[in-house]
Amino acid sequence: MNAEALRRDTIVLGAFPAMNDAIHASETEHGRLRRFEEAVLPHLDTAYDLARWLTKSDRDAEDVVQTACLRALQFFAGFRGANPRAWLLAIVRNTFYTWLQQNRAQELATPFDEERHTEDAAPRDPEADLLLHADRHVLRQALEALPVAYREAIVLRELEGLSYREIAEIAGIPIGTVMSRLARARRQLQDFAITYGSRHGGQDGNRYADKGTPP
């Protein structure tokens, strides 16, 4: 069994017994659980990945996803959309922010200024793209250094491949704000890439450092 499957089983074993306890034995309710599993289980890995990048902890990510799954089941009867992945990720995101308030409130101590952070999106930076394809250790350092609002946007767009519209729906923000956050996240990734290159040298380091900041 690979690591992804083991992790998925851990989440399921943690969350689904409570789900079964909450569901009576009627055929209709069993059918609802079956539909829920068909909608949610294919997206658990993506949900875990988002939670892991946001919490920066394997164990905390599992806790967030398990709680999110229970919330998703609770509100599944009202789900009428055609995109269960985006629906589940929105619940994971909201669950994460509740968890953050309870466990790391200091990370929310500095308000996020939408007026300051909303501007026209800049073109993609080659240094940021290069960093996104760097080894996982360097990528983790770079992404974990981003403010959480930028980190969630770049993870959903660049690592999970969601559209601007899907990210906007998940985060509850305008598409223009999504584009602005992505642009600023890429700039910060570029700054990280240049700093990383100057500290580590070598061919990749020179490639980061020589390009500098584009006009």
Domain with CATH 1.10.1740.10 in the chain: 3-108
Q: How far apart are CA 139 and CA 134, in angstroms?
A: 6
Whether the pLDDT of residue 22 is over 80: the answer is no
| Span 169-196, average pLDDT | 90
Per-residue tokens: 210: 């020589």
- For residue 68, the model assigns a pLDDT of 95
Q: What is the pLDDT of residues 38-91, one digit of tens each?
A: 888 899 999 999 999 999 999 999 999 999 999 998 888 888 878 999 999 999
Per-residue tokens: 193: 């890439």
- For residue 78, the model assigns a pLDDT of 83
Domain 114-211 has CATH 3.40.47.10: no
Q: What sections of 133-171 are H helices per DSSP?
A: 136-144, 148-154, 164-171
Domain with CATH 1.10.10.10 in the chain: 114-211
- For residue 192, the model assigns a pLDDT of 84
Whether the pLDDT of residue 98 is over 90: the answer is yes
Q: What percent of the chain has pLDDT over 90?
A: 40
**Residues 149, 182: contact at Cβ < 8 Å?**
no
Whether the pLDDT of residue 119 is over 80: the answer is no
The architecture that CATH gives domain 3-108 is Orthogonal Bundle (1.10)
Q: What is the pTM of this model?
A: 0.72
- Per-residue confidence at 208, pLDDT binned at 50, 70, 90? very low
Question: Between these two residues, 197 and 99, which has the higher pLDDT value?
Answer: 99
Question: Between these two residues, 10 and 142, which has the higher pLDDT value?
Answer: 142
| Span 97-108, average pLDDT | 78
Whether the pLDDT of residue 23 is over 60: the answer is no
Whether the pLDDT of residue 171 is over 60: the answer is yes
Give the residue from 178, 166, 171, 167 showing the smallest Cα distance to 82. 166
- Per-residue confidence at 172, pLDDT binned at 50, 70, 90? very high
